[in-house]
A and B are shown apart, each in its own frame.
Chain A
Amino acid sequence: MTTEGPLDILSGVNLDIKAGESVAIIGVSGSGKSTLLGLLAGLDAPTSGEITLAGETLTRLDEDGRARVRAGNVGFVFQNFQLLPGLTALENIMLPLELSDHPEPAREASALLDRVGLAARSTHTPRQLSGGEQQRVAIARAFATRPKVLFADEPTGNLDTATGARVIDLLFSIDHERATTLVLVTHDENVAARCARRIYLDAGRVVERR
């Protein structure tokens, strides 16, 4: 709601994403990409419509119910990395593992840190890492709980082109290895081109599908 009455941020969006598929959501700033991502991941609830994730109808669940669905099914990579500054690289990766009661969070996190090429930086805090390194830690964290779906919100938005490309390579390579469904929000055509399917959004409506 706004002072001018109801405002539709998204409308008439019909979307089906199959397991293992990779989908890019593309659009300019304010087109509703991040809002759509938030809804798909169950971080927010739509005012109308229905969303099903991993067999659960999110729109019938309250926030805690959606949290239950997110747990174990969903991983996230964000534009601003969202690493916790007080924790080391390793601890940041351990966090979702600890939360899902993983029997050996430290060992699993170390293996992932190694996989993203940062084994030597395990005790470093985010402040001591470059932007690219931080995003690699974030990718490791996103895959830590072996989610069925990975949501990535502008993963290269805060990185220079070269670093961004390396991070995207890493993201897709782990995604393939683990056959994870990928939903990626971006405004970068080159990044979007690596996904199997692309959905273009404009002013809250799907304008094109490729």
Chain B
Amino acid sequence: MRWWKLSVRLFARDWRAGELRLFAIAVSIAVGAVTAVGFFNDRVQQGISRGSADLLGADVVATSSEPIPRAWVDAVATHRLKSAVAAEFSSVVVHGERLQLASIRAVDPGYPLRGALRSAPDLSTRDARTSATPEAGTVWVEARLLYALNLRIGDRIEIGNASFVVKQVLTYEPGRGGNFFAMAPRLLMHRADVERTGVIQPGSRVAYALGVAGADTDVTAFQERLRPDLTPNQRVIEAGQGNLSLTRALSRIDRYLGLTSLLAVILAGVAIAMAARRYSARHYDMSALLRCFGAAQRDVLHIYLPQLALLGIVASVLGCVLGYVAQEGIYQITKSLFPTALPSPSMKPIAFGVAAGLITLAGFAVAPIMRLKQVSPLRVLRRDLVPLPASALAVYGSAAVAMVLLLWRITENWTLTAGVLVGAIGAAALLGGAAFILLRASQRLHRRVGVAWRFGLNNLWRRPRASVSQILAFGLALMTMAVIALVRTDLVASWQRQLPPDTPNYFAVNVLPENVDAVRHFFAERQVPAQAMYPMVRGRLTEINKIAVAQAVTKEQSDDGALQRDLNLTWAVDLPPDNVIVRGEWWRGSADGAVVSVEEKLAERLGIKLDDSLTFVIGGTELAVRVTSLRKVQWDSFHPNFFMMFPPGTLNTFPSTYITSFHLAPEQKPLLVSLVRAFPAITLIEIDQFLEQMRNILRQATLAVEFLLLFVLAAGFAVLYAALATSLDDRFYEGALLRTLGASRWRLRAGHLAEFVALGVAAGLLAAVGAEIIAYVLYARVFELPYDFKWPIWIAAPLVGAALVGAAGYLGTRKLVDQSPIAVLREI
């Protein structure tokens, strides 16, 4: 108890004396970065599960790709449940000469069973909850659709063969869980109108949803009744059960954010380690005195470790506040990815934030602080007695343990944790080596530069470890920023540039078999370059080698999108021109019988090999086939392409629609309206629009990561100031000495500026090297794009580095030359 009291008192004194400021700032940055991600993630998770019944629109929804079976309707009646049926599909909406693909939901009055729709009478009025639904002959549309079609409330639109009046602006609809990242704007219509449109034909992609609500026991009984008889294309979704693809997409963003925050934590850790070394060195005398006054070794730790813990808690709480503010920033950036406003974050991430702060502090600061107990009391008589340096094993080991703990918490995956750790150590060693070489190179300049530069470069070289740490810290921050910026601005553009000019920019799907010739003729007549027509049958892969896929594949594989939904299956006589057989053989004619050709990457993901047997369920019928070839597919040709291709004759008995893609020059766009009018069932997908939306998501995700990189940068500054603090006494002394020898204040300032500008340029060059290598791997290896030298990085990174580090270093050393030299020399 007595140590604790003394410890608190000494903590207050050290805090007042500013000894702990840097510690606190570094810990706050680390905790801020971690909790920003934590709070944001919490918000998203809450958004998914909050009033999840409201979000789902019912207590349970049973979906089917075919009309709701009679048995389900009977089950609703048996269990005295309320129910509502909705049909969901995509179709082109036409207004005058404009058209837009929309995601349509057709509902009955009474929808939704849980939660409520929100709508507004026009764009300028605030939205409100409503219990109404669209009346027959009218539709409610999302604002996006109004903009896309230049629509106003009261205008008429066409869907397939039918025409509708736009009545309301739809702002929120429950049950969009599955379309969290919906690409197409939403449209709500009356279910009785669907038939009139003629859009839904056999083989069309429609999801029918039966929502039910009622007492818990009844709802559970209803589910239990349905589950045993579910076919592969039917699902029962409970409220609160996350949507897989959404969770996957978000967990990926979350992971990137998490890894970025970890970079901030590591750099903050470096600053903490530096600050701890300095703190420890500055407390040798204190420890020696305490020992003189009779404190045992253990007592010294009893005094210092609680101080460290106290510091950790105070700084972590500050960090949590910082994180809370920052998560709002991330949310503002990514807001439009979410269908509705997300709820405020809960306070749960604080616990992890404080734990992360303490772990980081323990990992990076405890080893140097532990040295204090080894200070000999004799130091009071002999100042040259310093304790043995902490062993490298203790220093790096404890830091590594702390990092592994945090990394594991972020990735929740040991393999990934090990991978990132090994990668990080390798990269740090490599970049550290590069930084050292840059430092050496700067010495070569030594004789060719003016005195200010010489003074500055000397300073860098004299403290190589601190200089390398700083170059590395800023280099990493700048490199990450450069790579992220490149991904956002250049990657997609580079990819688009290398596509041939007549690459299809539209897909036409849902072409009815009886219209195939007419559509072909339509394109030929108007000289529109169109690809071949492929039939499309929807089926689900259910077994691999007679073993149900759920058992045949690992848990990660079972999350694969190809297993979560129906696949588009096709048949063809000839191998499509942009496909290449990599294993096995393509069939000749249709004589081969029950065989299939599988896309290479999917086969690899699911562990499918040549000669394996696959079972599909198509419209309730099982079809077993043998894999006779694996194909490499060039997806970005934007030709119709398929995971699974069958020989003619295998799928002919199932209802099918056709797909093709075509290229339309901008001036030919009006043709689209004629096409949709002539063939109302056709769904057009504009690739450019799709790409634009992808780019938008990419932009927001990268901006969010970049926003978080501010923490990494801040941690870089913490390293800079920690290094500066370590060398401050030397610098004061040097400065005073130089001034007594006649150096002007201006010259000293110029020297300091030169030192930090050089540091910033070195960090910038390091960032450019790193970014160039990563860009090369990303372009040439991962995306197989033509790679060109990214010269703007080589100019921007050193400039930004010089400006940032130069300014920060200049400000940090300003006071060095403002004190009178005699005062400084007297103090030392």
Contacts and interface: CB of A to CB of B under 8 A. Distances in A.
Interface of A: 34, 37-38, 41, 43-44, 63-64, 67-72, 74, 76, 78, 80, 82, 84, 86-87, 91, 95-96, 98-101, 127, 145, 153
A201 B291 CA distance: 27
Nearest to B291: A67
B17 A98 contact: no
Given A41-B292, A99-B293, 20 more contacts: A38-B381, A43-B292, A43-B376, A43-B378, A64-B298, A67-B291, A67-B295, A67-B297, A68-B294, A70-B377, A71-B294, A74-B294, A76-B292, A82-B285, A82-B289, A84-B285, A84-B286, A98-B5, A98-B9, A99-B295
Contacts of B292: 41, 43, 70, 74, 76
B297 A63 contact: yes
A199 B17 CA distance: 43
Interface centre among A41, A64, A67 (most CB of B within 10 A): A67
B6 interface: yes
Given A34-B382, A78-B380, A86 B295 contact: no
B290 A43 contact: no
B289 A67 contact: no
A43 B290 CA distance: 12
A99 B285 CA distance: 16
Interface string B374-387: 00111011110000
Contacts of B290: 95, 99
10 A-B pairs closest in CB distance: A71-B294, A86-B17, A64-B296, A70-B294, A96-B293, A43-B377, A43-B378, A101-B2, A67-B296, A98-B6
A159 to B, nearest CB: 15
Given A37-B381, A82-B285, A72 B2 contact: no
A87 B295 contact: no
5 contacts: A43-B292, A43-B378, A64-B298, A67-B296, A98-B6
A122 to B, nearest CB: 14
B294 A86 contact: no
A43 B379 CA distance: 9
B88 interface: no
Contacts of B294: 67-72, 74, 99-100
A64 B297 contact: yes
A82 B380 contact: yes
A99 B383 CA distance: 22
Contacts of B295: 67, 71, 99
A76 B380 contact: yes
A89 B195 CA distance: 92
A41 B380 CA distance: 12
Contacts of B289: 82, 84, 95
Contacts of A67: 291, 294-297, 299, 377
A92 B654 CA distance: 92
A171 to B, nearest CB: 17
Contacts, number: 77
A145 B376 CA distance: 21
Contacts of A127: 827
Contacts of A34: 381-382
A196 B296 CA distance: 33
Interface of B: 2, 5-6, 9, 13-14, 17, 19, 285-286, 289-299, 376-378, 380-383, 827
Contacts of B14: 86
A121 B198 CA distance: 95
A78 B381 contact: yes
A68 B293 contact: no
Contacts of A74: 292, 294
B384 to A, nearest CB: 12
A72 B296 CA distance: 13
B16 to A, nearest CB: 8
A153 B296 contact: no
Contacts of A70: 291-294, 377
Nearest to A94: B9
Contacts of B285: 82, 84
Given A70-B293, A100-B294, A44 B286 contact: no
Contact of A99 (B6, B17, B298, B381): B6
Contacts of A80: 383
A95 B293 contact: yes
Nearest to B17: A86
Contacts of B299: 67
Contacts of A153: 381
A5 to B, nearest CB: 22
A98 B380 CA distance: 19
A186 B286 CA distance: 24
A58 to B, nearest CB: 12
Contacts of A82: 285, 289, 380
A40 to B, nearest CB: 11
A101 B2 CA distance: 6
Contacts of A87: 13
A204 B381 CA distance: 17
Nearest to A101: B2
A17 B17 CA distance: 42
A87 B382 CA distance: 22
Given A84-B285, A84-B286, A71 B293 contact: yes
B21 to A, nearest CB: 12
Contacts of A99: 6, 290, 293-295
A207 B546 CA distance: 102
B9 to A, nearest CB: 7
Contacts of B382: 34
B376 to A, nearest CB: 8
A70 B288 CA distance: 13
A44 B377 CA distance: 8
Contact of B380 (A43, A64, A100, A145): A43
Contacts of B17: 86
Contacts of A78: 380-381
B778 to A, nearest CB: 50
Contacts of A44: 376, 378
Nearest to A97: B293
Nearest to B379: A43
Contacts of B2: 98, 101
Nearest to A98: B6
A185 to B, nearest CB: 9
A145 B14 CA distance: 23
A78 to B, nearest CB: 6
Contacts of A96: 293
A44 B19 CA distance: 30
A23 to B, nearest CB: 17
Contacts of A43: 292, 376-378, 380-381
A121 to B, nearest CB: 17
A37 B19 CA distance: 33
B689 to A, nearest CB: 64
Nearest to B296: A64
Nearest to B6: A98
Interface centre among B2, B14, B380, B382 (most CB of A within 10 A): B380
B319 to A, nearest CB: 25
B371 to A, nearest CB: 15
A98 B289 CA distance: 13
Contacts of B286: 84
A91 B11 CA distance: 13
A91 B13 contact: yes
A15 B784 CA distance: 87
Nearest to B16: A86
A170 to B, nearest CB: 20
* Chain A CB within 10 A, most for which of B291, B292, B294: B294
